[in-house]
């Protein structure tokens, strides 16, 4: 196995862009990324695309060559990866594997989703296809409903409260307000978060991530060649992808994501670090309860303490372990297929010292955790200064 580095990053802003189509978003992020890594399209040896539901959202399949060719990347492997909300995390994992194995040197990974051209009820229906359509779907369970049931059980078992959930939203909105590329740049109060419109009890509008358009890209290369392209390479210290049952009712315990625990364990072992060493993280807060459970499953806190730890302010920008300095899926936005790669970009920005108003001082070892569905796919990546 060769050591692998991120040599370039590029993102579109996230938001509602009525005049932009899926391909133009992907191309914008790819072009920015190639420029950032000082790589020409002809040097790219493989293209990995993360996209959850382009065929349903915009009616186009065969998306990887559809996008790559218009970036000037032609004649090389171009493949779309689908793992629900972990689609581009999965694309990144497979791109990393190919570079580490010595199959390719320069690879481009792009994640994209164009969601806002559909009505909300149709968006819910498309997202619900990441669950078990034959059981959960037929019963009328949306994704908010699945995470609402997770929240209910977590509250029952560990004493997590509505205020704990709201504290995640308040923190991530505060961070998003400092991120020029975030979908929502508006701080909210705890009172506002608690008084949100009910979506699936106990979750309100403020517990749910956003329906967004956007794209993100990263370039990977062998670490030994990284300095040909950038003076700020960031090393992928360790990465793991895992899986679990799709249906919530088949999982052992819905208050913990086994896929996250396993991926974290493998990623830490491959990186030679422990949970305690991680200085900051981008976490998959598709719903507020998901961030609370993730910081438990990643080993940042004891099981059941995620809500209390958040309420005490330990995960805010000034806290001992900042989580989602980008604003997270909650405020930065959640164009589903773009999220995994966007998280990598945000960790890289921190390590490079380019995170602007949200820049951390303890920024040398970061983690990204990308979750698919209600925990059936997970990718955990540990990144560090090269």
- Site residues (CB under 8 A) for other proteins? 119-122, 124-125, 128, 134-136, 138-142, 144-145, 148-150, 152-153, 156, 197-203, 247-250, 254
Asked if 334 is an active-site residue, the reply is yes
Nearest to 207 by CA among 247, 253, 161, 244: 161
Listed residue (171, 222, 192) closest to 328, CA to CA: 171
Return the ∠ at Cα 337 (arms to 242 and 306), rounded to 5°. Answer: 55
Task: Verify whether residue 85 is a known catalytic residue.
Answer: yes
Q: How far is the CB of 198 from other proteins (least distance, A)?
A: 5
Choose the catalytic residue: 33, 85, 208, 286: 85
Q: Which is nearer to other proteins, 249 or 357 (CB)?
A: 249
Phi/psi at 69 (5° precision): -60, -35
Helix (H, G, I), strand (E, B) or coil at 4: strand
Cα(231)–Cα(258) distance, integer angstroms: 38
Burial of 299 (0-12, 13-18, 19+ CB in 10 A): middle
Token pair recorded at residue 386: 């090269």
Name the minimum Å distance from CB 56 to other proteins.
12
Nearer to other proteins, 135 or 161 (CB): 135
Distance CA 80, CA 358 (A): 32
CB of 244 to other proteins, least distance (A): 15
Q: How far is the CB of 147 from other proteins (least distance, A)?
A: 9
SS3 (DSSP) at 383: strand
Q: Which residues contact 330 (CB under 8 A, 6 or more apart)?
A: 168, 169, 172, 173, 176, 208, 209, 210, 285, 288, 324
**Residue 116 or 175 with smaller CB distance to other proteins:** 116
Taking the C-alpha atoms of residue 145 and residue 201, their distance in angstroms, rounded to an integer, is 8
- C-alpha dihedral over 286, 327, 91, 7, to 10 degrees? -170
Which residue in 106, 147, 85 sits closest to 343, CA to CA? 85
What is the nearest approach in angstroms of other proteins to the Cβ of residue 287? 12
Residue 376 CB, nearest distance to other proteins (Å)? 15
Tokens 């806290």 label which residue?
A: 319
Q: Which of 33, 334, 345, 378 is catalytic?
A: 334
Residue recorded with tokens 């086994």:
258
Tell me the catalytic residues: 85, 334
């Amino acid at each position: 196995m060769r050591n692998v580095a991120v040599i370039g990053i590029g993102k579109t802003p996230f938001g509602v862009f009525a005049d932009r189509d899926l391909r133009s978003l992907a191309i914008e992020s790819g072009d920015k990324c190639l420029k950032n890594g000082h790589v020409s399209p002809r040097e790219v040896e493989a293209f990995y695309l993360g996209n959850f539901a382009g065929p349903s959202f915009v009616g186009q399949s065969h998306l990887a060559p559809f996008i790559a060719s218009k970036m000037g990347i032609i004649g090389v492997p171009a493949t779309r990866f689908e793992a629900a909300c972990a689609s581009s995390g999965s694309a990144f994992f497979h791109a990393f594997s190919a570079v580490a194995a010595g199959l390719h040197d320069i690879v481009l990974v792009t994640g994209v989703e164009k969601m806002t051209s559909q009505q909300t009820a149709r968006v819910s229906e498309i997202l619900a296809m990441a669950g078990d359509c034959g059981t959960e779907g037929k019963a009328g369970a949306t994704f908010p409903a699945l995470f609402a049931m997770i929240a209910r059980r977590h509250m029952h078992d560990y004493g997590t409260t509505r205020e704990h959930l709201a504290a995640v939203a308040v923190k991530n909105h505060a961070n998003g307000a400092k991120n020029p590329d975030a979908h929502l740049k508006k701080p909210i109060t705890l009172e506002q978060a608690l008084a949100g419109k009910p979506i699936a009890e106990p979750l309100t509008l403020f517990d749910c991530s956003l329906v967004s358009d956007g794209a993100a890209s990263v370039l990977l290369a062998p670490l030994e060649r990284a300095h040909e392209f950038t003076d700020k390479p960031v090393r992928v210290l360790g990465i793991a992808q895992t899986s679990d049952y799709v249906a919530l009712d088949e999982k052992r315990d819905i208050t913990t994501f086994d896929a996250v625990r396993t991926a974290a364990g493998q990623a830490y072992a491959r990186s030679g670090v422990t949970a305690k060493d991680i200085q900051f993280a981008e976490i998959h807060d598709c719903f507020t309860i998901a961030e609370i459970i993730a910081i438990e499953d990643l080993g940042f806190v004891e099981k059941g303490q995620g809500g209390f730890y958040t309420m005490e302010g330990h995960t805010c920008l000034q806290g001992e372990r900042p989580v989602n300095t980008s604003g997270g899926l909650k405020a930065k936005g959640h164009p589903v297929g773009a999220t995994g790669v966007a998280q990598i970009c945000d960790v890289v920005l921190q390590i490079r010292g380019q995170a602007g108003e949200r820049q951390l001082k303890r920024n040398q070892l970061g983690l990204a955790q990308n979750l698919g569905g209600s925990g059936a796919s997970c990718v955990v990546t540990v990144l560090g200064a090269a």
